[in-house]
Structure 1
Amino acid sequence: MRVAIFTDTFVPQVNGVAQVVAKFVAYLKQNNIANVIFAPNYGRRSTYINNYNVFTVPCINFPLYPECKLAFPGLSAIRQQLEEFSPDIIHLMTPFSIGLCGLKMATKTGIPFVASFHTDFPGYLNYYRLSIFEGLAWQYLRWFHNRCGANFCPSEDTSKLLKINNINNVKIWGNGVDITLFNPARYSNIVRRKYVPEDKIAFLYVGRLAPEKNLTLLFNAFQRVYQKYPNAHLVITGDGPSYHELKQKAPQGVTFTGYLTGAFLAEIYASCDAFVFPSTTETYGLVILEAMASGLPVVAAYAGGIKENLIHNYNGLACVPQDEEDLSLKMELMLRDQKLRSRLAKNAVYYAAQKSWDHVFNELLENYYAINSVPGNKILSYQ
């Protein structure tokens, strides 16, 4: 099996999609499965991806969302690279410029191809006052995804969303967690002292700092909590378009760490006391599993892909989506009941230990082989 991946986001970008793709590529390499990645060129930082077999294309920042890149793939150069590599299957990880290029290459060459739905972009539009375009966004996604041999999404809830919007050939491709990296043993006194004042109980948020993550609601809920329990603290890890605005409006008792990756990220997880996540637009919510593996009980909005892993009163506390009061009440309960916190944390570690990446990627490869063997899905010439 030879796999070509087209993605509009890849390391060193720090987001769920980029991290999943990087882990998948590492898995392919470990199992001696040839692969090539077509991804944006991030300038000087692109040297980070030299450990991977990456063909980069020029890109610019998307005006409304600088983290996202608009790529300008040279079709002839990509076609040449693809022909030299001769893949058995193409995986379109994103539906934008590079993913669209991959779709064009796949349809022209006859190489079997599949796609992923990692991000609910139509759902994001409302947070940017662009909900008028939601119908058009789904129309485009139907056109894109319904040409693919399979469309992988990370959760049952997301699968239902796609089917409601008439997207076909939907399959579940879940996420996993690296428990060798994320685990309670990563606790660090140095990290704890750096970000959490002494004798405080620390809630942690990890993720993009953007309107669709509902961080204003989180701040309002935390302010309620802090007024009753001044021993509460909130640590915000991440970056994004709302970073400066959120720093300005943050209530008392909030610390920002900026982006953290690798061991530094694992340490901040393990060095806090509970995880809080108010987003309702997640297709999976990989950070939920990372928090659980690190020994943190979770307080999160019970919506979207979060429902895939959050089990109320077992590994966390589920909140009513978009409900500031309910979020604050669940945070207060977590804050004042140490026995509850300990029980949920123990269960969270046990639950996350059962979610290995190898199992997730093995299932994806089985789907590749099945799709590649379908009559008619034969590799044609590049003419």
Structure 2
Amino acid sequence: MSSVAVLVELARSGTSGGHVKCWERFAQSAARLPGHRPALDLTVYFLGTRDHVETLAPHVRLVMLRPVLSTAAFTSADAAEDVTDLAPYHPRLAALLPRHDVWHLTHGFAYATTAVRLARHAARTAHRVPRLVASVHTDVPLLASVYARYLADRRLPGAHPAAGRFLADRAAAWLRHRRDRLLDSCERVLVPTPQGAAELARTLGPHRVCLLRRGIDHDLFRPDATARAHLARAYGVPTDRPLVLFAGRLDATKGVPLLTESLRLLRARGRAAHAVMAGSGAEADAVRRALGPDVTLLGPLPQARLARVYAGCDLFAFPSRTETCGNVVAEAMASGLAVLLPEGARTTGWLTAPGHDGIVVPRDDPGDWADALTALLDRPDLLRAVQQRAAATARTTHPSWDQVLTEDLLPVWTAEGLCRRAPRTRMA
């Protein structure tokens, strides 16, 4: 039996982001594996407020470990940022890892650096060397760049704008270098899109880069004719105008300022639309001030409640360029929403016929986004056609989590012919 440890150094909760949800879904799929599948024992390690184990099946479990150096103290007042562990070494994880054959890195902090350090030590001392693989879920350097600017604005009020840019550029460059060194320690690196695979292949070589798609729960995310009335009852959302949904962190990393301004322009043009935003973040107050009664801020929601919010809305506007995949787009399409996405963003990979099963906005300009929204709101027939095509694309082309596990992950975890090379890089 192949024993796999997946290392997710993020705090797990009911409203965690897509990275955590992704591995929860894969673990649930692994628990459903039929007996004829390759033998697999899977442990997914998260961060938690206390050490404990959640067993999903005899061969699948989730393990939460307390962080050594938590970032919780550095989060904003709304705690929208993901909590990770900045320690260079996690002793408790180090004691548990040797029982596993495959160590799967998904981030670049305490868990990952501990795994690489142990693997290097095993190679030097002629002990059994584990197989190291990795998957890319978040553009951490880009996110750090945006948050560095937020930090500069908050902690250095009145400072020259160049100070924020300097901090942002240095943070992004350091984390990019650090990420590349970690990935170079792995025999296989999995990425969610062909575009991302091509970028990493230039650094790592094409033979070391594989696709790891994202799945969709088609039973949970689907059209629901009763959802609109539920939104009105549960959240007071108006039912007499189109609803434009956004789901994710309410900050600049997701393009929220751009979307807010485009919605303000839409209102100035006399178009009746109401914004619904699920999530929290640094831009929440700015959104509330700019849109007033024309926005409903729901805060973070668990998946089951979020699914009904999707199904009760009409359009999903998502200007983010930081996504490596953007599962929220797939969830919106499966729920029967017309999606609006930035041209060139990796999220457009969910579309099979841009312009028909989703709208691609050419420029990151509020006027362009307002124009795209207006074009759909002024033509209900076009809006319905895009909604129907989006739902059809989701049904016919977006894989389930079970499919992705068996087709993308298991071949990498259980392949006997993959090279076992010791990590070359030295971690700080």
Which residue matches 1:133?
171
Which residue matches 2:413?
368
Secondary structure class of the residue paired with 2:82: strand
Equivalent position amino acid for 1:19 in 2: K
**Deviation string, structure 1 residues 8-61 (Cα, Å, up to 9, x no partner):** 125315211011011111112222732222221235xx8895654304122341
Which residue matches 1:381?
none
Residues 1:280 and 2:321 are matched in the alignment: yes
Q: Distance in 2 between matches of 1:220 and 1:185?
A: 30
Q: Distance in 1 between matches of 2:32 and 2:258?
A: 42
Q: Distance in 1 between matches of 2:291 and 2:211?
A: 37
Structure 2 unaligned segments of length 5 or more: list them: 35-39, 123-128, 150-163, 423-428
Which residue matches 2:231?
191
In the superposition, the TM-score normalised over structure 2's length comes to 0.80
Which residue matches 2:261?
220
**Deviation string, structure 1 residues 324-377 (Cα, Å, up to 9, x no partner):** 11111110111111111111111111111232222211121112222x533546
CA 1:15/1:336 → structure 2, altered by over 3 Å: closer, same or farther?
same
CA 1:357/1:376 → structure 2, altered by over 3 Å: closer, same or farther?
closer
- Is contact 1:39-1:98 (8 Å) kept? no
Q: 1:172 aligns with which of 179, 198, 211?
A: 211
Larger displacement relative to structure 2 (88-97 or 187-196): 187-196
**Deviation string, structure 1 residues 50-95 (Cα, Å, up to 9, x no partner):** 6543041223416266523242586443233233xx2221111111
Q: Distance in 2 between matches of 1:25 and 1:101?
A: 22
Equivalent position amino acid for 1:289 in 2: A
In the superposition, the TM-score normalised over structure 1's length comes to 0.89
- Is contact 1:315-1:347 (8 Å) kept? yes
Secondary structure class of the residue paired with 1:123: helix
Seq. identity, %: 24
Which residue matches 1:359?
403
Residues 1:31 and 2:33 are matched in the alignment: yes
- Number of aligned pairs? 372
**Deviation string, structure 1 residues 116-165 (Cα, Å, up to 9, x no partner):** 1111122234423412333222211111101101111111222233345x
Which residue matches 1:79?
94
Q: Distance in 2 between matches of 1:230 and 1:49?
A: 49
Secondary structure class of the residue paired with 1:342: helix
Larger displacement relative to structure 2 (105-114 or 63-72): 63-72
Q: 2:198 aligns with which of 155, 160, 163?
A: 160
Residues 1:291 and 2:332 are matched in the alignment: yes
Equivalent position amino acid for 1:38 in 2: Y
**Deviation string, structure 1 residues 292-349 (Cα, Å, up to 9, x no partner):** 0000011111233212113322211100241211111110111111111111111111
Deviation at residue 175 of structure 1 after TM alignment: 0.7
Which residue matches 1:94?
107
- Is contact 1:157-1:305 (8 Å) kept? yes
Which residue matches 2:22?
20
- Is contact 1:315-1:345 (8 Å) kept? yes
- Is contact 2:49-2:66 (8 Å) kept? no
- Is contact 1:10-1:17 (8 Å) kept? no
Q: Trace 1:103-118 onto structure 2 (pairs within 5 A).
A: 103-109=116-122, 110-118=129-137
Structure 1 unaligned segments of length 5 or more: list them: 379-383
Which residue matches 1:304?
345
**Deviation string, structure 1 residues 189-224 (Cα, Å, up to 9, x no partner):** 122453421311101001111221111110110111
Equivalent position amino acid for 1:61 in 2: A
Which residue matches 2:278?
237
Secondary structure class of the residue paired with 2:24: helix
Deviation at residue 270 of structure 1 after TM alignment: 0.2
Equivalent position amino acid for 2:93 in 1: I
Which residue matches 1:122?
141
Equivalent position amino acid for 2:82 in 1: C
Secondary structure class of the residue paired with 1:9: strand
Equivalent position amino acid for 1:21 in 2: W
Which residue matches 1:9?
10
Q: Distance in 2 between matches of 1:330 and 1:68?
A: 32
Secondary structure class of the residue paired with 1:174: coil
CA 1:125/1:76 → structure 2, altered by over 3 Å: closer, same or farther?
closer
Secondary structure class of the residue paired with 1:220: helix
Q: 1:151 aligns with which of 176, 189, 204?
A: 189
Which residue matches 2:362?
320
In angstroms, what is the RMSD of aligned CA positions?
Answer: 2.5
Equivalent position amino acid for 1:69 in 2: V
Q: Distance in 2 between matches of 1:75 and 1:120?
A: 23
Q: Distance in 2 between matches of 1:119 and 1:167?
A: 18
Q: 1:61 aligns with which of 69, 72, 77?
A: 72
Larger displacement relative to structure 2 (23-32 or 140-149): 23-32
- Is contact 1:157-1:304 (8 Å) kept? no
Deviation at residue 231 of structure 1 after TM alignment: 1.9
Secondary structure class of the residue paired with 1:152: strand
- Is contact 2:334-2:394 (8 Å) kept? yes
Deviation at residue 262 of structure 1 after TM alignment: 2.4
CA 1:264/1:158 → structure 2, altered by over 3 Å: closer, same or farther?
same
Q: Distance in 2 between matches of 1:181 and 1:251?
A: 31
